[in-house]
Homo-oligomer: A and B are copies of this chain.
Amino acid sequence: MRRDIFQAIADPTRRAILVLVAVQAMTPNAIAEHFDIRRQSISKHLRILSECDLLVPRQEGREIFYELKIDKMKEIDAWLDQFRKIMEDSFKQLDDVLFTLKNKNK
């Protein structure tokens, strides 16, 4: 079973949950009210998001508030960073790269 942030944010429902919870920590029931799917399915999503450390549960009596762990979001940003770097370098040497490529694949 693959379980990483990228797989976690691939599902639109989970992305919506993240946005909701970013504003304020919420209980599964409260979250489920925003969707047309059963509470139990939301629970599944919350489990996945928690396993990826994107959410952290905080028990309060019989309620559980799920809170966003914004730090984990930075991992996505870090992945994007690698492209920013690569592209900076590539743009500088764009013509060289294209030239090399054409010769290599002649």
Q: Which residues of A contact B (CB under 8 A)?
A: 2, 4, 6-7, 9-10, 12, 15, 18-19, 22-27, 30, 63, 65, 68, 70, 73, 76-77, 79-80, 82-83, 86-87, 90, 97-98, 100-101, 105
Contact = CB atoms under 8 A, between A and B. Distances in A.
A20 B25 CA distance: 39
- Copy number in the complex reads 2
Determine chain A's interface SS by DSSP, over half rule: helix
A22 B87 CA distance: 7
A80 B77 contact: yes
Contact of A90 (B6, B12, B23, B101): B23
Contacts of A7: 10
